[in-house]
Amino acid sequence: METYQPQGQVETPTPEQEKMSWQRFLLDILETVGLALVLFLIINGVSARVLVDGTSMVPTLQDGEFVLVNKLAYRTSLPTRGDIIVFRSVDTKDLDLIKRVIGLPGDRVVIQNGQVSVNDQVLNETYINAAPNYSGEWRVPEGDVFVLGDNRNNSSDSHSWGFLPIRNIIGKAMFIYWPPPNWAAIDHVKIAVAAP
């Protein structure tokens, strides 16, 4: 049965209608918070955000930049030579580092006379800050990689602390997202060398 509501009069909601309105409002808030939480967990499951702290990757990455990391990049494959990766430090708890992969399992890495060679092939490293002023020779064991910073003479990396276990790799650095003037995809130079 319809009732006539004179124009200009506002119908006062009944207590039951007010209760239903508040319940709907609370349900909407819970749905929004729940969806935000699910999205947060999914995003954190597949990516990470990392602050570049220091100058070990200059000129490729600058101190203070924030980088987006793909955590799924190496779930089904190994990194390739030239990839810039984020990993858990081998000698400092709760420290993540960012370096470039130079040697893969089985590779022979030699640094001498300011040049880096992998499997007897000298690398053309246009991305480095300066030629390394140290030398050494390493054979990368199975399950490990050899990493170097692009700022070769100002980087704590495999030349000083040894090999990086593949299990320590968090993911592949993909994009500089902060500060906005530096927005860019990260260049993963392909280093092609003969197999050992």
Largest Cα span, the chain? 97
In this prediction, residue 163 carries a pLDDT of 97
pLDDT in tens, 37-86: 776 666 666 667 788 889 999 999 999 999 999 998 898 888 999 999 99
Which phi and psi (to 5°) does residue 131 adopt? Answer: -65, 145
CATH number of this structure's domain 48-185: 2.10.109.10
* Domain boundaries along the sequence of the chain: 48-185
Residue 196: the pLDDT is: 63
What is the C-alpha separation between 5 and 127, in angstroms, rounded? 78
Segment (H or E) for 39:
helix 15-46
Cite the beta strand spans of the chain per DSSP E: 47-51, 66-70, 84-88, 96-103, 108-112, 115-118, 121-122, 136-139, 144-148, 164-165, 169-178, 184-185
Q: Which residues, in sequence order, are CB contacts of 46 under 8 Å at separation 6+?
A: 70, 71, 72
Tens of pLDDT, residues 140-191: 999 999 999 999 999 999 999 999 999 999 999 999 998 888 888 887 787 7
Q: Annotated catalytic sites, by residue?
A: 56, 99
pTM for the full predicted model = 0.77
C-alpha closest to that of 173 among 38, 43, 73, 76: 73
How far apart are alpha carbons 87 and 64 in whole angstroms?
Answer: 18
